[in-house]
Amino acid sequence: MNKFWIVLSHSFMTRFKSKSFIITTAIFLLFIVGIGNVDRIIGLFDSDDVDQVAVIDETGELYHSLVEQNELLEVNYELVDYDGTLEDAEEEVLSGVFNGVLHIESDPDLYFSAVYYTDQLINQSIQYQLMGNLQQIKDARAMIDQGIDQAVLEAIYQPISFETIALELSDGTTARTEEEIGVARGLVYMMIIILYMAVLMYGNMIAMDIANEKSSRVMEILISSSSPISQMFAKIIGISLLGLTQIGLFLVVGYFMIQSRAEDMVGEFFEFFGFSDVPVSTYIYAIIFFLLGYFLYATLSAMLGSLVTRMEDVSQILMPMTLLIFIAYFIAIFGINMPESSLVTITSFIPFFAPFVMFLRVGLLEVPTWEIALSIGLSIGTIILLALIGARVYRGGVLMYGRSASLKDFKRALQLSKKDK
């Protein structure tokens, strides 16, 4: 048992003290801080000058209507009543005085026509807003000409009364409202991304660590003093603790960043991806499914990593596992908008997908307890099965040398493990 703790602490401390771990962690922490202050960072480079649009209104009637429309919509540009010629305005656009010039002329068939001259065609937000405002002015004039009263128009466009009421379920609870789903959506989305990154990054780290020890012949010394099975689980747990330490730092910094900017974090994005008032059970399930997914893929990585000797063969041997992770991730991302689909329901019981997909269902839907328990049970059973098979493959795989990056080497590894007993 003492040798197990030695391998575990060595796996953890070697990576923890490495420059790559420190630099990577620092970069991600700076990224989190930067994302939390992205509005302030953009503000440092943005000029306080407001974009100006010159308006040449030959009808003499539309300029003031456009200004009123802009005041109601709070647009990000300013209209200027231009007295000069169109040629002069175009020159001032090219010299940077104006963002563009709007030329309005009378048109007996269409009330008026408009042309917008600019040298900035990439960002067309101003053009679209001007076109929308002019369309509303034209519609209003057409309706007035047809004798339709303004009060009648307002009544026609008045929104209907429509309300959604959550019905009571058979267990006495009510279905989740859109507000409750919105509150949990942010946590679900974040959990999916963190688990996706963790299983890819740390699973690859486990496999490369084993392959590196085999290529440097350190493995021959290790297996002479400690059993291969003990080494496998020591490496899995050691690197798991490393991953949890790094992710814990990210979450702590992210939490304090959200708390410090809570008053500024308003708008559609933070309303859609809410983080407040999330039930405690959702956080508990997040931890459970994260650990299940992590240890399932970590065990698989250790088993596959033991089959290769060269570092460059690691990515090839891990390709089937990587594809499984990709599929699970994309099903979960797809399921955020359609959590009740049959695909999401079925894959939530498949152990390789369950950590992603079942947590998605738990976070966004009222899932029966027996379904959650079944999914967790199947995942635990798969981890145990992989551990038993992985221990035998690892025992024989660490004795295999030479070029090898094929799943056919499973049989050879199992045969060697029997001889090693």
Q: How many CB atoms lie within 10 A of CB 236?
A: 23
Within-domain flag for 407:
yes
End position of a domain, from candidates 156, 191, 212: 156
pLDDT tens digit string along 24-66? Answer: 888 888 887 887 776 667 666 655 567 888 888 888 888 888 8
231 in the same domain as 303? yes
Helices (H) and strands (E) in the chain, counts: 18, 4
What average pLDDT score do residues 318-346 get?
Answer: 88
55 in the same domain as 114? yes
Structure token digits, residue 46: 């943005």
The boundaries of the domain holding residue 226 are 176-420
pLDDT over 90, % of the chain: 8
Within-domain flag for 37:
no
Fill in the DSSP letter of residue 403.
S
Cα separation of 367 and 345, whole Å? 10
Q: How many CB atoms lie within 10 A of CB 37?
A: 16
How far, in Å, are 196, 321, 330 from residue 324 at the CA level?
11, 5, 10
CATH (domain of 98): 3.40.190.10
- Residue 376: pLDDT above 90? yes
Within-domain flag for 23:
no
End position of a domain, from candidates 124, 156, 188: 156
244 in the same domain as 98? no
Within-domain flag for 196:
yes
Mean pLDDT for the chain overall:
77
287 in the same domain as 180? yes
288 in the same domain as 369? yes
226 in the same domain as 335? yes
Give 272's pLDDT tier (boundaries 50, 70, 90).
Answer: very low
Cα separation of 231 and 214, whole Å? 13
Within-domain flag for 60:
yes
Query: What angle (nearest 5°) sits at the alpha carbon of residue 76, between those of residues 72 and 81?
Result: 80
What average pLDDT score do residues 212-220 get?
Answer: 59
Number of domains in the chain: 2
pTM exceeds 0.85: no
374 in the same domain as 265? yes
| Residues paired with residue 56 on neighbouring β-strands, in sequence order | 103
pLDDT over 70, % of the chain: 74
Cα separation of 15 and 24, whole Å? 12
What average pLDDT score do residues 352-359 get?
Answer: 91
Within-domain flag for 202:
yes
354 in the same domain as 262? yes
pLDDT tens digit string along 72-89? Answer: 777 778 888 888 888 888
Q: How many CB atoms lie within 10 A of CB 363?
A: 29
More confident residue, 384 or 393: 384
Following DSSP, what letter does each residue of 33-60 receive, concatenated?
Answer: HHHHTHHHHHHHHS-SPPEEEEEEESSS
- Give the pLDDT confidence score for residue 173 in this predicted structure: 47
Give 258's pLDDT tier (boundaries 50, 70, 90).
Answer: low
Report yes or no: 156 and 254 within 8 Å, Cβ to Cβ: no
Give 167's pLDDT tier (boundaries 50, 70, 90).
Answer: low
End position of a domain, from candidates 156, 184, 204: 156
Within-domain flag for 235:
yes
222 in the same domain as 150? no
368 in the same domain as 331? yes
More confident residue, 262 or 145: 145
235 in the same domain as 89? no
Tallying the residues shown for the chain, one arrives at 421
| Region of poorest pLDDT, from 11-25, 212-226, 352-366, 374-388 | 212-226
Residue 398, helix vs strand vs coil = coil
